[in-house]
Every structure is written in C-alpha cells, then in structure tokens.
Structure 1
C-alpha cells in the first residue's frame, strides 16, 4: 500500500494519491490505507512544530534586519512557511473525515 503515498517535499510528509475513489477499494485496502494515513497523520504535529521553530528564527532575523530587500525575502519565507503549516492542518483533518466515512 505504500505506493499510494507519495512524498511531498513542501509539506515534508507522504500524501495519498489514490488512483480511484476511496470507496472503490476493498474493505481490506481501505483499512490498510487508513492505517498508513493514521501513521503519517501522527507525524503532522511534530512537522508543524518544526516549521514554527523556523518561523521564529526568521522573525528574529527580521527584527534586526535593516536591509529592505532582505526583510521582504524573510517576510516571504515566513508567509510560505505559514501557508505550509495551514496546509498541514488541513491534511491533519482529512483523517477525521475519512474515519467518519469508514464507520458509517
């Protein structure tokens, strides 16, 4: 089942790439997919914390930066990291939706 999950460099986690609707997989395949996703999902909070630490470092750099171009670059990097964290939060919630569907 690992071929269903493909590494996403930006997010730093593997993401599901299903080749058909989830409901079209057998019950056993669905259970395997959900189990693997739960394992991946469990790493998301640590990944978010890691990115938050990078944001704090960049904010500290920004606080002492006098160069306008460098300040803009740091702001852009902080925004990109914040966007990544937001996307990770969305993926973290995906499992809740999948679990609800699997139990109905």
Structure 2
C-alpha cells in the first residue's frame, strides 16, 4: 500500500497519494485501496482524541503560566493542534462517500 499512501507527519496518519486517475486503476486495486483507506479513516477519531488531550494539557499549563512568552507559545501550540484536528475532520468527512463504496 506504500505506493498509494504517504505518511503525513503533521496529521499523524497516512493519506492517499494516487499517481493516476481513480478510473485508471482496476477494480481489484480500487477495492484494496478503499479497504486500506477505511482502516486508516477508522483511526482518525482516536488520533483526534489524542490531540484533544494534548490541547487540554496545554490549556491547563496556560491557566497557570505567568510568563507572557511562554503563554504565547502555548497559545500557538494549541492553535496548531486545533488546526490539525480540523484537517483530520475534513479528511474523515470528505471521504465518507468514498468509504461507502467499500461496503457496496
């Protein structure tokens, strides 16, 4: 599957990386790709939960922080984690229709 997916360091998951149009792949390859994607997609809520826990930890630290620069850094970290969560939800939802093909 390494030919069809690449690891995204920012999101912490593998994302589809198709080198040609979807229709160019034979049905068997399409099914294999879809099944692998469904496996990855199913792990996205767990990845989001991990990131939410990191945000909660940073927010707790922010509540106690008195140093302005450290507070700014924590806020920046929280914003980046929230952005990652948003992108993960987009991947999760955007591909619901694709994932539905797995079950047909």
**Normalising by the residue count of structure 2, what TM-score does the alignment of the two structures yield?**
0.91
Q: Within 5 Å, which residues of 2 pair with 1:19-98?
A: 19-98=19-98
Structure 2 match to 1:10: 10
Shift of 1:2: 3.1
String of CA shifts for 1:21-80, please: whole Å, max 9, x gaps. Answer: 212211111111100000000110100000000000000000011111111000000000
Runs of 4+ in 1 over 3 A off after TM superposition: 99-104
CA contact (8 A) 1:38 1:95 kept: no
Measured on the aligned residues, the alpha-carbon RMSD in Å equals: 1.8
Measure, in 2, the Cα distance between the counterparts of 1:103 and 1:42.
14
Structure 1: gaps spanning 5 or more residues: none
Whether the 8 Å contact between 1:37 and 1:95 is mirrored in structure 2 is no
TM-score (ref. length: structure 1): 0.91
Show structure 2 runs of 5+ residues with no match.
none
